[in-house]
Amino acid sequence: MPCLGLCLSVLAVQAQTDYYVSPLGNDANPGTKDAPLKSLEAVKYLMRQQPSSGPVTILMGPGRYELSRTLELTAEDAMADRSITIKPAGSGEVIMAGSTTLPSDVWTDFVSPGATEKVNDSAKGNIKQINLRALGISDYGVMSEKGFSVPVMPTEMELFYNDERMTLARWPNEGKAQYGKVIDNGSVPRTRDYSRRPGVLEFDNERISNWVNAKDSWLHAAESGNGGGEHR
């Protein structure tokens, strides 16, 4: 008696995984709609614990997300057949910011034993201070020299107020400070002098004489030949 053989093709269906994120979430949550995570870094951690290579959708609730570092997705996150989609969870505005909002009520008048007396009289009463470490901010970046023949480096920490970049304390606020004479031109790379010997200028100004003990002073110079830069 003849037998009828039946062949079945079994298709593996890759399940899609959704993760929900909210500014009001908690990174200890499972990332569900009712218990969202708070950061994309937490989502990345959970993805790496998930053996499935199916597509992943990250749904972000409305609000502001402050990133302390660049979100980096590597081959470890995007497996062979895993696609990753990041999109808003609804119609609300989603802001991914590389900055931190500083509360206005934590700024105080500048008072520092041993330092307040060194402040010029014209500036006293106009200086405010804030404790960044108390707000969990400890990476201030590094000020670096800027100008021609100087390697491009990431900028140091910047402060913005009402969307306007604030300028570091400086003198003069406008125009240029005039110097008396050049005592030493310093090293000149164009003549193959790469010793980086600093130049020496003489200033005849009483205000500058108060900076003798300054530990971290910078000079922004407009040099001849339309050059310029910032140097320690």
If one counts the domains in the chain, the total is 3
What was the pLDDT predicted at 7?
39
Q: Is residue 134 part of a domain?
A: yes
pLDDT reported for residue 122? 78
Q: What is the pLDDT of residue 229?
A: 53
SS3 96: strand
Same domain membership, residue 227 and residue 146: yes
Share of the chain above pLDDT 70, in %: 84
Question: Residue type at 67?
Answer: L
Whether 5 is covered by a domain: the verdict is: no
Task: Let me know if residue 216 belongs to a domain.
Answer: yes
pLDDT tops 50 at residue 72: yes
Residue 129, C-beta contacts closer than 8 angstroms, at least 6 positions apart:
107, 108, 109, 110, 111, 112
| pLDDT at res. 163 | 87
pLDDT tens for residues 192-218?
888 888 888 888 777 777 777 777 777
Q: Please tell me the distance from the alpha carbon of residue 19 to that of residue 32, in angstroms, as a whole number.
A: 6
Tell me what the mean pLDDT of segment 52-61 comes to: 86
Better pLDDT: 224 or 41: 41
pLDDT band at 131 (very low <50, low <70, confident <90, very high): very high
Predicted model pTM: 0.63
Both tokens of residue 4? 């009828």
Supply the range of the domain harboring residue 29: 17-97
Question: Mean pLDDT, to the nearest integer, of 180-198?
Answer: 86
Same domain, 172 and 226: yes
What confidence category does residue 227 fall into, taking pLDDT thresholds of 50, 70 and 90? low
The pair phi, psi for residue 88, each rounded to 5°, is -65, 150
Among 63-67, 134-138, 174-178, top mean pLDDT goes to 63-67
Give the span between the Cα atoms of 223 and 221, in whole angstroms.
6
| 84 has a pLDDT exceeding 80 | yes
In a domain, 152, yes or no: yes
Contacts (Cβ under 8 Å, ≥6 apart) of 150:
144, 229
The whole-number pLDDT of residue 31 equals 94
- Mark whether 153 and 210 lie in a shared domain: yes
